[in-house]
Amino acid sequence: MAERIHSALGALTVVILAGGGLAWRFVGATGQPAVAAPMPSSQFSQLMAYATPLPDSVQAVASWDAPVAISRDPFSPPETYAVAPRMAIHKAPSAPRAVEPRWDVTAILIAGARRAALINGVLVNIGELAPGGATLTAVERDRVVLTDPRGTAHTVAVKEGDS
């Protein structure tokens, strides 16, 4: 069925092209150059005044009265300025900072509701004190959260491999 439709469309295309070629040969191919047709009516001659180009309505007047002043050459390198010598700043001695405990989390255990971590070689469950006095408050897949006695939460990542 589809082949019949395609063959019918092909045949129709050939007939249309052949008919167009014959029509072109008998109607349009006279061999004479095209000539401009005369003005069809007097109405167009009345409109020809609108088709002519307009004179320039804006006149550019060159004014050389005021001199042009350029404050600096835009293409020259920027000016260099002398830099004042640095003055020594003395800071007041600050109070010694408390050394933060170092926690090494080497393994975690997540089994159902039980969560624990191996911190500095000690197995610590959630809610228990870890080495250094902090409480283990959360255990995630790749990190734990320890809360120090001041209430500051510290997130510590689980160490991977030998280090």
- pLDDT per residue over 139-156, tens digit each? 998 999 999 999 999 999
Q: Does 112 fall in a domain?
A: yes
Q: Does 21 fall in a domain?
A: no
Q: Does 22 fall in a domain?
A: no
Q: Does 96 fall in a domain?
A: no
Q: Does 53 fall in a domain?
A: no
pLDDT at position 72 over 60: yes
Q: Does 93 fall in a domain?
A: no
Total structural domains within the chain: 1
55/47 Cα distance (integer angstroms): 18
pLDDT at position 46 over 70: yes
Global pTM reads 0.40
- pLDDT per residue over 85-119, tens digit each? 776 666 767 666 665 668 889 999 888 889 999 99
Which range of residues forms the domain containing residue 124? 105-157
Per DSSP (E only), the strands in the chain are 105-111, 114-119, 122-125, 135-139, 143-147, 153-157
Q: Does 97 fall in a domain?
A: no
Q: Does 139 fall in a domain?
A: yes
